Amino acid sequence: MEDSVFKKELFEGKKVFITGGATGMGLGFTKAFLEHGANVFIASRDAGKLDLASKKMEDETGKIIEWKVMDVREESSVEDAIEFIEQKWGGIDILVNNAAGNFFCPIENLSENGWRAVVDIVLDGTFRVSKKCFPLLKQKGGSIVNIVANYAWGAAPYVGHSGAAKAGVINLTRTLALEWARYGIRVNAMCPGIVLTDGVKENLIGDDFVINQMEDSIPIGGITSAEQMAQQVLYLCSPAAEVITGEVLVADGGQWLVGNMFYSIGKGFER
């Protein structure tokens, strides 16, 4: 937390729910909120990863997080997790919809199951979790941050399932921002730069040559870190952003202005 621009006590006593919070950027968000005073609850499909994340956070921050296995694709699973939170905390102040899935595949080869798997996690999952959390958020007002991608407002070659889903999330973000404003709930999205998490390396960018190509395509800042992206999420949830809702904070070093590198990368998978 040495590099944080925010006060240590910024989220003191706040209750934060992060989906996909056990690994990658989600774990970075989890740590950042803990280090700034929040109580954090995380959920994902893998109990082993949740347990490891809990132990890691306790070792690194001295704080204990709450967690529960949850599959955002299943309404009953989401309901169980929200009921657990309600029993533990009564309500929440912040929701970060970070659960995601992605892999390279041209549309002509994409199966119905492949399409549905990604859309169900990214778009439908964001809808399910947000709707189920609404009663817990509207008590005092709060903040929702949805994690998107910079191909959501353009073409998404070879990741069409994810692109369509993320585009839907942006529209849903703006819709909820208007519908839930009367309850004092702000809804924004954060578009991260390239973060080489284990999931990204396994499913998208694992080759050093491709990573170097990606690096060269970023005008400023280079490949980012989970810690840097966590700072953006903290900002959107902070009092400094109290008049910001329905927006997408793009933190990709200007890469989206240059073009979508997934086109050239994806073509490599067809050769």
Q: Which residues are catalytic?
A: 151
Residue 210 binned pLDDT confidence (cut-offs 50, 70, 90): low
Residues 95 and 144 sit within 8 Å (Cβ to Cβ): yes
pLDDT, tens digit, for every residue of 109-134?
999 999 999 999 999 999 999 999 99
Residue 217 binned pLDDT confidence (cut-offs 50, 70, 90): confident
**Predicted structure pTM score:** 0.92
pLDDT at 201 over 60: no
What average pLDDT does this structure show over 98-110?
Answer: 94
pLDDT, tens digit, for every residue of 17-45?
999 999 999 999 999 999 999 999 999 99
pLDDT, tens digit, for every residue of 1-21?
557 889 999 999 999 999 999
Domains and CATH numbers, the chain: 15-268 (3.40.50.720)
Task: Classify 229 as helix, strand or coil.
Answer: helix
Task: Classify 231 as helix, strand or coil.
Answer: helix
Spatial distance between the Cα atoms of 21 and 42, rounded to a whole number of angstroms: 5
What is 53-111 written as a DSSP string?
A: HHHHHHHHHS-PPEEEE--TT-HHHHHHHHHHHHHHHS--SEEEE---------GGG--
pLDDT, tens digit, for every residue of 138-186?
999 999 999 999 999 999 999 999 999 999 999 999 999 999 999 999 9
Residues 142 and 185 sit within 8 Å (Cβ to Cβ): yes
Residue with token string 């979508």: 260
Closest by CA to 224, choosing from 203, 265, 196, 257, is 196
C-alpha angle 55/57/58, rounded to 5°?
Answer: 65
